[in-house]
Protein backbone atom coordinates (compact mmCIF):
# COMPACT_ATOMS: atom_id res chain seq x y z
CA UNK A 1 0.00 0.00 0.00
CA UNK A 2 2.64 2.46 1.01
CA UNK A 3 4.25 1.96 -2.39
CA UNK A 4 1.54 3.91 -4.15
CA UNK A 5 1.81 6.86 -1.82
CA UNK A 6 3.31 9.62 -3.85
CA UNK A 7 3.57 13.30 -3.06
CA UNK A 8 3.02 15.73 -5.88
CA UNK A 9 4.03 19.32 -5.85
CA UNK A 10 3.29 22.29 -8.06
CA UNK A 11 5.59 25.21 -7.49
CA UNK A 12 6.56 28.06 -9.80
CA UNK A 13 10.15 27.64 -10.97
CA UNK A 14 10.94 31.33 -10.85
CA UNK A 15 9.74 34.38 -8.99
CA UNK A 16 10.65 37.96 -8.29
CA UNK A 17 12.20 38.84 -4.95
CA UNK A 18 9.51 39.30 -2.34
CA UNK A 19 6.81 37.56 -4.37
CA UNK A 20 4.20 35.57 -2.54
CA UNK A 21 3.75 32.41 -4.59
CA UNK A 22 1.08 29.78 -4.44
CA UNK A 23 2.05 26.18 -3.76
CA UNK A 24 -0.28 23.32 -4.59
CA UNK A 25 0.32 19.83 -3.40
CA UNK A 26 -1.37 16.47 -3.34
CA UNK A 27 -0.34 13.21 -1.75
CA UNK A 28 -2.03 10.01 -2.83
CA UNK A 29 -3.12 8.42 0.41
CA UNK A 30 -6.37 6.64 1.37
CA UNK A 31 -6.71 8.64 4.64
CA UNK A 32 -8.44 5.75 6.42
CA UNK A 33 -10.53 7.64 8.96
CA UNK A 34 -11.09 4.86 11.49
CA UNK A 35 -14.87 4.95 10.97
CA UNK A 36 -15.22 2.78 7.90
CA UNK A 37 -16.01 -0.94 8.14
CA UNK A 38 -14.69 -3.65 5.88
CA UNK A 39 -16.84 -6.42 4.35
CA UNK A 40 -16.62 -8.43 7.61
CA UNK A 41 -18.03 -5.52 9.55
CA UNK A 42 -14.74 -4.82 11.30
CA UNK A 43 -13.64 -1.25 11.67
CA UNK A 44 -10.74 -0.46 9.42
CA UNK A 45 -8.09 1.06 11.72
CA UNK A 46 -7.34 4.72 11.34
CA UNK A 47 -4.36 5.47 9.12
CA UNK A 48 -4.04 9.00 7.90
CA UNK A 49 -1.35 11.45 6.94
CA UNK A 50 -1.49 13.62 10.05
CA UNK A 51 1.13 16.25 9.43
CA UNK A 52 2.66 18.37 6.70
CA UNK A 53 5.71 20.47 7.32
CA UNK A 54 6.82 23.11 4.86
CA UNK A 55 10.22 24.77 4.88
CA UNK A 56 11.98 27.15 2.52
CA UNK A 57 15.77 26.96 2.69
CA UNK A 58 15.24 25.03 5.94
CA UNK A 59 13.30 27.91 7.48
CA UNK A 60 9.81 26.92 8.65
CA UNK A 61 6.90 28.30 6.62
CA UNK A 62 3.91 26.28 7.67
CA UNK A 63 2.95 23.30 9.78
CA UNK A 64 -0.37 21.65 9.13
CA UNK A 65 -1.98 19.08 11.35
CA UNK A 66 -4.48 16.96 9.44
CA UNK A 67 -7.43 15.24 11.09
CA UNK A 68 -9.48 12.30 9.76
CA UNK A 69 -11.92 14.86 8.33
CA UNK A 70 -9.50 15.57 5.50
CA UNK A 71 -10.51 13.88 2.25
CA UNK A 72 -8.58 10.98 0.75
CA UNK A 73 -5.61 12.02 -1.37
CA UNK A 74 -5.18 15.25 0.58
CA UNK A 75 -4.87 18.28 -1.65
CA UNK A 76 -3.55 21.39 0.01
CA UNK A 77 -2.62 24.78 -1.25
CA UNK A 78 -0.95 27.65 0.54
CA UNK A 79 1.48 30.51 -0.03
CA UNK A 80 5.11 31.25 0.59
CA UNK A 81 7.06 34.49 0.34
CA UNK A 82 10.33 34.08 -1.50
CA UNK A 83 13.14 36.52 -0.84
CA UNK A 84 15.99 34.50 -2.30
CA UNK A 85 16.61 31.51 -4.54
CA UNK A 86 16.02 28.38 -2.58
CA UNK A 87 14.45 25.02 -2.09
CA UNK A 88 10.94 24.47 -0.90
CA UNK A 89 10.63 21.25 0.99
CA UNK A 90 7.46 19.46 2.07
CA UNK A 91 7.40 16.54 4.47
CA UNK A 92 4.33 14.45 5.24
CA UNK A 93 4.06 12.06 8.16
CA UNK A 94 1.41 9.42 8.73
CA UNK A 95 0.03 7.65 11.80
CA UNK A 96 2.71 4.95 11.52
CA UNK A 97 5.43 7.56 11.46
CA UNK A 98 6.27 6.91 7.85
CA UNK A 99 7.22 10.02 6.03
CA UNK A 100 7.48 11.24 2.48
CA UNK A 101 9.03 14.38 1.18
CA UNK A 102 9.18 16.38 -1.97
CA UNK A 103 11.17 19.43 -2.87
CA UNK A 104 11.33 21.99 -5.59
CA UNK A 105 13.66 24.84 -6.45
CA UNK A 106 12.50 28.41 -6.88
CA UNK A 107 14.83 30.71 -8.82
CA UNK A 108 14.63 34.34 -7.72
CA UNK A 109 15.57 36.85 -10.36
Partner 1 sequence: MTRFAALTRRSALAAIAATIAARNAFATPDQTRDWLAQQAKGTPKEGKVTLKAPEIAENGNAVPVTVSVESEMSATSYVKAIYVAADGNPNPGVITYEFTPLAGKAEVQFRTRLAQTQKLVAVAEMNDGALYMASREVKVTIGGCGG
Nearer to partner 1, 5 or 76 (CB): 76
Q: Of these, 27, 49, 80, 106, which contacts partner 1 (CB under 8 A)?
A: 80
Q: Of these, 13, 35, 39, 96, which contacts partner 1 (CB under 8 A)?
A: 35
Examine residue 107 and tell whether it contacts partner 1 (CB under 8 A). no
DSSP 37: B
For residue 38, how many other CB atoms are within 10 A of its CB?
8
Q: How far is the CB of 83 from partner 1 (least distance, A)?
A: 9
Q: How far is the CB of 36 from partner 1 (least distance, A)?
A: 4
Examine residue 4 and tell whether it contacts partner 1 (CB under 8 A). no
Q: Provide the residue count of the chain.
A: 109
The residue among 52, 45, 66, 65 whose CA lies nearest residue 23 is 52
Distance CA 96, CA 32 (A): 12
Contacting residues for 26 by C-beta, under 8 A, at least 6 apart: 7, 8, 73, 74, 75, 76
Per-residue x/- mask for partner 1, residues 36 to 75, rule CB under 8 A?
xx---xxx------------x--xxxxxxxxxxxxxx-xx
**Residues contributing to the site for partner 1 (CB under 8 A):** 20-21, 33, 35-37, 41-43, 56, 59-72, 74-81
Amino acid sequence: MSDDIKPRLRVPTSAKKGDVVEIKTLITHPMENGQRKDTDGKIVPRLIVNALKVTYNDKPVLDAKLEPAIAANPYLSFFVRVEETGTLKLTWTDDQNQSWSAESKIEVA
